[in-house]
Structure 1
């Protein structure tokens, strides 16, 4: 017979919304730092999941949304699906009519102050910061500007070129973590086995600074690749992650100074620079030791983040299965998957973002958006070509600028016309490729026939006349 203490340890603990405490972030020395905190004692609003208003309406899609596996997506002809308007709607989502005017006003305010680089001029990005600050534009602007400054200092956009995490496999052995499958909505599932982390070995195979760069790289990959891929497969907009944290055996002794440093640095990055990307966090196998630790850890978390966390004991499986299908849960969490071909589930990075055809779709969409963005910039420049004004505009390298005078000195807006033409060419390029190949083959055959005819004519001309 189990003791009351054992039963209490297995009882589920659902963390409440919070009591309206100030929103604070801390650096690794335990000091407060400014990431646009609200201050005061005003209670924060708790918005529904960020995808709530982004489902396709039946009138928009013509069919009921179905978060089915990749197989359902690939039943469509690639070109037909790629060109359809529903593809754009899936990636962009259906916008909440109450939020849309606020986001547009926020964008205009940022544009007037030159605070929206082209690559971050994105509706959903701005919406994340607004939601994090309860749609207070001034506080959202401060947070957004802090994020842009951090990205420049951290060289986030240059990480793919400058940072190569060669110790990836070794790190996974002493810090088991990774993405694995999707939840029932279609969101990516992220898993960490904190109880198996060996910080001493981690410090031997990498540095904490490099691990943090790895974490930022994964956050960027999630925004730019995992969410779009999940959206395409689920056929509805996906914009957040469901996380599972296994804390079996974790207690106060695990919260050492190195552990606090790593935890607080990652928490600062996620809260201040990647807001509103967490859908739900399930903390499982929480014993009495972790529950004591949780009281200390909770102080470092944003109030809204705490509201998304559910702390569970060892009887967690039924709750997880409500959120994630067994096929997307590793066996060590009570699911059916082993990923035996990839060295284990947390080594596989299994998900829609690994499907080649889905990746091809995303690449095409990104190419079209890049060209469309350049066209919009050129069109704005040509509107004022009669009275050129020198306006600095950021290029791909944040450290360099170019003048729009160079673009506006060309009257007649040839550049804008060329951009529009380029977009049209992308639409018909693949369809025309087959016809071009057929024409080339026809020309080659005709050329061969002509050569044979000329050869026969030459032989006939050389014959003596009778």
Structure 2
């Protein structure tokens, strides 16, 4: 039986107080329409995973020995970009009912002047509709709040204005990061909450800077990680599988700084990046955490809580149902150490690190940006979420960057500028073709070496 003191501690947990914490700037939280407290008493619909209608059903059951990236690179990019398979991978096979709802929502926003071209995106609109159970009025309010937040937070300017120089130091006192993919191909995100030391973290960074880092990572996931995972898995990927290791976490860990950080990140993820969580595995949950969980989950959206599995120390069999051992770090019971990168949570390992995939995403995004805006005389092409440089052996990085930068800096109002920009993209496509040739050369050399070795051993 629990003591009255423990019960009182449960009642005393208050999240989101306006207090200042040593080492951090205190932050105020205005939940507005995103507060879950207003939703109590309402029954929400739990929609199936957002990728449900985005599988490549025609490819089901078929296995290929060739690399999906290699097979895609074998096509001329101009044809590859417009191919049906690429459209299905990057855009998804859209459900007719969803498509109709999204179009109605889109037309309403356009008529009211509430849909900037940059955010006129099917997947973005669908996420907000799903989060509000396809209620157009509530989705509109949520979408407006999202646009206003992006403006006030200067999200699009973060790559230019924000440099998280304390990245390595923060990782030491707050172990977290992306690592590999699950069996579906979704990116995996891992946090070791039991090892977090917020006092040390407060000495190397601030809440404001850490939250900006979090937003930058969310932007990279949407614009780089998901497309890269989609190309690698040959099916549309739009959500993340997360693992939260809470070994040793209890009520004492839920300090004022911890509450601030939890609430702000929860608000950002729920209100501004809705429907991006596939599943969250909370592992090593002891009695102390389970007590804490009762308090924490009351502040989470019902739809989010439905995606969370709280597991004890015997979690491995459940994780292995969704994740291959090769994509699990050894500290979670898997086989990976990422010894060359200083550990798994420092590696950012995944398809988004593949240079050829990054080149492909850059070329497709730039060309579509140009072709979509030339008619309007606006060719502002820079994609702030994309890496500005791709480290790749046997490639002239400086030459590649000059093409990208020139394409991004093309003038804004002339047909000539559009043509020039397209010429730059054509040059980049040619560079991608060179990659294909180099891959073929390496394969031929490998085959010759293999044959020479076979002759040596048979002799």
User: 1:346 — aligned with what?
Assistant: 345
Q: Does 1:83 align with 2:82?
A: no
Distance in 2 between the 1:238 and 1:140 partners?
A: 23
2:397 alignment counterpart: none
Match of 1:190, SS state, is strand
Contact kept in structure 2, 1:27 and 1:268, CA below 8 Å: no
> Does the C-alpha gap of structure 1 residues 176 and 368 become closer, same or farther in structure 2, counting only changes over 3 Å?
same
Question: Normalising by the residue count of structure 2, what TM-score does the alignment of the two structures yield?
Answer: 0.76
**Within 5 Å, which residues of 2 pair with 1:360-371?**
360-371=359-370
Specify the alignment match of 1:64 in structure 2.
60
- 1:369 Cα deviation (Å)? 1.6
Aligned to 2:131: 132
Give secondary structure in 2 for the equivalent of 1:335.
Answer: coil
Shift of 1:135: 0.3
The residue number in structure 2 matching 1:52 is 52
CA distance in 2, matches of 1:340, 1:262: 30
Q: Flag the 1:36–1:334 CA change in 2: closer, same or farther, 3 A.
A: closer
| TM alignment of 1:312-351, pairs within 5 A | 312-351=311-350
Which residue of structure 2 lines up, in the alignment, with residue 158 of structure 1? 157
Change over 3 Å in CA distance of 1:148–1:394 after alignment to 2? farther
Q: Is the 8 A contact 1:28 1:264 kept in 2?
A: no
Distance 1:124 1:52, change over 3 A: same
Partner SS state of residue 331, structure 2? helix
The answer to whether residue 118 in structure 2 is matched with residue 105 in structure 1 is no
SS in 2 for 1:259: helix
Partner of 1:49: helix, strand, or coil? Answer: coil
* Partner of residue 35 from structure 1, selected from 33, 46, 49: 33
In the TM superposition, residue 231 of structure 1 has moved relative to its aligned partner by: 0.4
> Structure 1: how far apart are the matches of 2:362 and 2:120?
19
Distance 1:207 1:310, change over 3 A: same
Shift of the 39–305 alpha-carbon distance from structure 1 to 2, 3 Å rule, reads closer
Structure 1 Cα separation of the partners of residues 367 and 379 of structure 2: 20
Q: How far, CA to CA, are the matches of 1:194 and 1:180 in structure 2?
A: 16
Q: List alignment gaps of at least 5 residues for structure 1.
A: 1-25, 379-392, 398-413, 435-466
Aligned-residue RMSD, C-alpha: 2.9
Instruction: Give CA deviations for 1:259-297 in whole Å, capped at 9, x if unaligned.
Output: 000000000000000000000000000000000000010
2:202 aligned with 1:203, yes or no? yes
Question: Are the structure 2 counterparts of residues 137 and 355 from structure 1 closer, same or farther at C-alpha, using a change threshold of 3 Å?
Answer: same
Q: CA deviation at 1:64?
A: 3.5
User: Which piece of structure 1 moves more, 75-84 or 288-297?
Assistant: 75-84
Measured after TM superposition, the shift of residue 372 of structure 1 is: 2.1
* 1:128 to 1:42, Cα distance in 2 relative to 1, 3 A: same
Where 1:238 maps in the other structure, the secondary structure is coil
The CA deviation at 1:222 is: 0.3
Separation (CA, whole Å) in 1 of partners of 2:432 and 2:224: 28
- Report the alpha carbon displacement of residue 114 of structure 1 after superposing the two structures with TM: 1.1
Match of residue 177 from structure 1: 176
Output the CA distance in 1 between the equivalents of 2:17 and 2:63. 40
TM-score, with structure 1 as normaliser: 0.75
CA contact (8 A) 1:44 1:134 kept: yes
Change (3 A) 1:160 1:303: same
Question: How much has 1:377 moved relative to structure 2?
Answer: 3.0
Partner of residue 264, structure 2 = 265
Partners in 1 of 2:163 and 2:431 — Cα distance? 39
Provide Cα deviations, 1:56-115, integer angstroms capped at 9, x if missing partner. Answer: 231xxxx43779999442244344467321222210111010110110010011111111
How far apart, CA to CA, are the structure 1 residues paired with 2:166 and 2:342? 16
Given the alignment of the two structures, is residue 73 of structure 1 paired with residue 91 of structure 2, yes or no?
Answer: no
Partner of 1:404: none
| Conserved 8 A contact 2:370-2:379 | no
